[in-house]
Amino acid sequence: MSTPSQVLIIDDHDSMRDGLELLMRRRGHRTLSATDGREGLRLLQEEGADLVITDLKMAHMDGIGVLEGVKSAAPATDVLVITGHGTVETAVKAMKLGARDFISKPFSSEEFGIKVDRILRERDERLRLRQENLALRVENTYLRSEGAAVGTPYGEMVGESEGIRTVLRFVEQVARSDSTVMIYGESGTGKELVARALHAGSVRHEGPFIPVNCGAMPEGLLDSELFGHERGAFTGAERRRRGRFELADGGTLFLDEIATISAATQVRLLRVLQDRKLERVGGEETIPVDVRIVAATNSPATDLLRGDGFREDLYYRLHVVPITVPPLRDRREDIPLLAEHFVGKLRRRTRSPVAAISPEAMERLAEYDWPGNVRQLENVVERALVLAEEEVLQASDLPLLVNVPGSQSPGRSGADTSEGLDLSRAVDDMEEGMIRQVLARTGGNRTAAARHLGISKSKLLYKIKKHAIGE
């Protein structure tokens, strides 16, 4: 669950509005509600909000009008749009105008809660990274020497392993240049943190750092997002919009998951990299841009170059200075440092009493292969902090961590790879282990256990029966 936030709900149906307000309060959020768009925008200006949830179809002012009003009055506020059947085109228009996401009726309370939690969690992450970036500038802590870098939190690039030492030394050398950088690494290894470190250590550090997750953008939106568009360029383009290239002028543009972009977008991107000029979608004006490009992908360089979908000329434009971030399983000596770092970082947010990690718990963390890398380790530590009740985190506070047979990592030995990878069985085993653990901690109180697990009691009862727990 995300950090408690202020949520404004705008809906002209009393039952829907009241139900959403109750759902948000149960998830720990403060709520404001309004029966129409004008009242909602007034509340936003007077009270503020981290997230606005608005129905798309309402009298007087529809959801698109609300969205435009929010983006004008409070651009940093996220908007979730509720749509009905047959309004997907309007929902896409809302996304183009700046909505964070949309959800279609009918939906379950669990589905809605998960979507809201994700939006607010991503908001928290953006704010955190913005603060870290500012702190890097103010304290001027970017790498000046190997001694200053190694073993010191640089954002969350924490570690003493040779793998992280190599990355940090490389960052120090490359940051001073203006060359294009390609960062390789599995999902969750911290590629964006490396990109931010490059920006913070560069001559562009006072300019903007603009991240774009290319893989999260629908193909029809990515061109507009990167290059901007003119009014009337497509259905729903009611005003001119500057793209991320223009917003990053004088700074750094981080293109994550670059391998996912379409062939047409690759051509436009290649032209901008070559000419340092762009044209907005539907426009004729040529706009010069002064941007440093840092790209990232979880595909190995050989796969990217040999694949059918990625242009070779674009590859060589991006692959000027390559940096590879090692997976966590290849720098296991950093796991204790990272785990302690996350305990310190997350204690306040989770209101946890935990101040240290027991040797048994640390050993369990160090033995796991971490297919989700540093991001997965942070999530596991956060979940453990929520469930723990003592000052020292015990092994019993951790979720079931099982290295799945058949998923042997490079450099590891002893795993049986002859059998197939049964993902469903592994997920079921982990689910059963978590339920048994939480039931034990709550003394068999199923209502409390459901609350700890973030699911409804009826769903918990179904899973207890499914796994024959207690029989």
Query: CATH number of the domain at 330-405+419-466, please?
Result: 1.10.8.60
Closest CA to 82 of 131, 9, 157: 9
Residue 252: what pLDDT?
95
Residue 96: what pLDDT?
84
Residue 143: what pLDDT?
36
Mean pLDDT computed over 43-59: 87
CATH: 3.30.70.260, 3.40.50.460, 3.40.50.300, 1.10.287.1770. Which one for 140-326? 3.40.50.300
329 band by pLDDT with thresholds 50, 70 and 90: very high
322 band by pLDDT with thresholds 50, 70 and 90: very high
Express each pLDDT in 68-81 by its tens digit: 999 887 777 899 99
For the full predicted model, state whether its pTM sits above 0.85: no
Mean pLDDT computed over 328-333: 92
404 band by pLDDT with thresholds 50, 70 and 90: low
Residue 270 clears pLDDT 90, i.e. is over it: yes
Residue 410 clears pLDDT 60, i.e. is over it: no
Q: Lowest-pLDDT range, 48-57, 137-146, 173-182, 430-439? A: 137-146
436 band by pLDDT with thresholds 50, 70 and 90: confident
SS (H, E, C) the chain: CCCCCEEEEECCCHHHHHHHHHHHHHCCCEEEEECCHHHHHHHHHHHCCCEEEEECCCCCCCHHHHHHHHHHHCCCCEEEEEECCCCHHHHHHHHHCCCCEEEECCCCHHHHHHHHHHHHHHHHHHHHHHHHHHHHHHHCCCCCCHHHHCCCCCCCCCCCCHHHHHHHHHHHHHHCCCCCEEEECCCCCCHHHHHHHHHHCCCCCCCCEEEEEHHHCCHHHHHHHHHCECCCCCCCCCCCECCHHHHCCCCEEEEECHHHCCHHHHHHHHHHHHHCEECCECCCCCEECCCEEEEEECCCHHHHHHCCCCCHHHHHHHCCEEEECCCHHHCHHHHHHHHHHHHHHHHHHHCCCCCEECHHHHHHHHHCCCCCHHHHHHHHHHHHHHHCCCCEECHHHCCCCCCCCCCCCCCCCCCCCCCCCCHHHHHHHHHHHHHHHHHHHCCCCHHHHHHHHCCCHHHHHHHHHHCCCCC
Express each pLDDT in 165-186 by its tens digit: 889 888 888 888 889 999 999 9
Residue 130 clears pLDDT 70, i.e. is over it: no
Residue 100 clears pLDDT 80, i.e. is over it: yes
Residue 127: what pLDDT?
67
The fold of 6-119 is: Rossmann fold (3.40.50)
Let me know if 351 is exposed, middle or buried by CB neighbors in 10 A (0-12, 13-18, 19+): exposed
Q: Lowest-pLDDT range, 7-21, 93-107, 117-131, 190-204? A: 117-131
- Tell me what the pLDDT averaged over the chain comes to: 82
Domain residue spans in the chain? 6-119, 140-326, 330-405+419-466
Express each pLDDT in 347-380 by its tens digit: 888 889 998 999 999 999 999 999 889 999 999 9
Neighbours of 333 (CB within 10 A): 13
Residue 51 clears pLDDT 90, i.e. is over it: yes
CB of 184 closer than 8 Å to CB of 326: no
Residue 422 clears pLDDT 90, i.e. is over it: no
Of 214-218, 291-295, 369-373, where does the model show the most confidence? 291-295
Residue 183: what pLDDT?
96
Q: Does 330-405+419-466 match 140-326 at the fold level?
A: no
Residue 409 clears pLDDT 60, i.e. is over it: no
Of 64-73, 297-306, 444-453, where does the model show the most confidence? 64-73
Residue 20: what pLDDT?
93
Integer Cα distance of 45 and 73 in angstroms:
7
471 band by pLDDT with thresholds 50, 70 and 90: low
